[in-house]
């Protein structure tokens, strides 16, 4: 075991942590999350840009959990799923890396207007993923309602962003000598981190909603003028490539 310890101001010995020796070979799949389904398609695209390297289970249990929470909450708002389910539905943790569950994401593209399996694949992977199977599309009226719900959720992110600073500033930095109390404070910090991640996803969704509407219009217009739908997609990509003030994963 690799043991770490310290002596506090009263001279008492404190064990800080104990873990297996890291130089010994280990099972890369030991901390894998369960598959959401036997035929589900996972990808490193998109999320691999935000989290390019391998990271420890502790980071996965915080950052990965928060991303999954935010994505599931967005699905619930758009009625792509009934309620928040067990963690690790929208993302997965395998071989020490984070993966997106694209199969679960297709429920959103099948349940709102102006989106499709192909558009969803292109937005995540930059290509159509042939292994993905579209979920049955919902009727027009439910699609319209879900689109309004999702758009309102995304477009109302502004006030949440403005309140974010105060919420973060109000979080108390754990200073107690009571380990149980510190753990409770850290757990509250995870809840705050989930909220911050959800606000980020809501903010990013504003651009996604606009991009889907733009692409759908240009594709229809291209087909109407006797062109291939890929011409419309290319025009949408050209216009969005020149967009300014676009939020990126690295904050620039």
DSSP string for residues in the chain = -EEEEEE-TTS-EEEEEEE--TTS---TTTTPPPPS-TT--EE-TTHHHHS-S---HHHIIIIIHHHHHHHHHHHHHTTSSSS--SSSSSEEEETTEEEEEHHHHHHHHHHSTT--HHHHHHHHHSS--TT--PPPPPPHHHHHHHHHHHHHHHHTHHHHHHHHHHHHHTSPPP--S-HHHHHHHHHHHHHHHHHHHHHHHHHHHHHHHHHHHHHHHHHHHHHHTT--HHHHHHHHHHHHHT-SS---TT--
Q: What is the pLDDT of residues 161-172, one digit of tens each?
A: 999 999 899 888
Which tens digit of pLDDT belongs to each residue from 3-19?
888 888 888 888 888 77
User: Is pLDDT of 242 > 90?
Assistant: no
pLDDT at 6: 87
Q: Give 93's contacts (C-beta < 8 A, 6+ positions apart).
A: 31, 32, 33, 57, 60, 64, 99
pLDDT for 217 equals: 76
Q: What is the pLDDT of residue 250?
A: 40
Neighbour count for residue 2 (Cβ, 10 Å): 11
User: Is residue 151's pLDDT more than 60?
Assistant: yes
pLDDT in tens, 191-207: 899 999 999 988 887 77
pLDDT above 80: residue 64: yes
> Would you state the pLDDT for residue 166?
92
Q: What is the pTM of this model?
A: 0.75
Q: Are 153 and 77 in contact (CB under 8 A)?
A: yes
The 10s digit of each residue's pLDDT in 89-138 is 999 999 888 999 999 989 888 888 877 888 788 778 878 888 998 888 88
């Amino acid at each position: 075991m690799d043991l770490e310890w310290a002596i506090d101001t009263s001279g008492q010995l404190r064990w800080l942590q104990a873990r297996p020796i890291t130089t010994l070979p280990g099972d890369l799949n030991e901390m894998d999350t369960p598959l959401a389904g036997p035929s589900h398609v996972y990808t490193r695209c998109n999320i691999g840009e935000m989290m390019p390297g391998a990271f420890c289970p502790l980071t996965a249990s915080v950052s990965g959990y928060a991303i999954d929470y935010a994505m599931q909450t967005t699905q619930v708002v758009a009625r792509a799923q009934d309620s928040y389910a067990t963690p690790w539905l929208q993302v997965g943790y395998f071989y020490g890396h984070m993966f997106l569950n694209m199969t679960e994401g297709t429920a959103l593209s099948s349940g709102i207007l102006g989106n499709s399996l192909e558009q969803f694949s292109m937005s995540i992977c930059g290509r159509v993923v042939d292994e993905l199977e579209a979920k049955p599309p919902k009727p027009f009226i439910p699609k319209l309602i879900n689109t309004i719900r999702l758009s309102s959720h995304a477009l109302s992110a502004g006030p949440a962003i403005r309140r974010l600073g105060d919420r973060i500033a109000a979080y108390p930095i754990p200073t107690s000598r009571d380990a149980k109390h510190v753990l409770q404070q850290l757990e509250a910090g995870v809840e705050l981190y989930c909220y911050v991640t959800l606000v980020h996803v809501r903010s990013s969704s504003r651009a996604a909603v606009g991009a889907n509407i733009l692409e759908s219009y240009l594709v229809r217009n291209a087909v109407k003028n006797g062109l291939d739908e890929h011409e419309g997609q290319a025009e949408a990509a050209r216009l969005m490539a020149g967009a300014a003030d676009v939020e990126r994963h690295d904050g620039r």
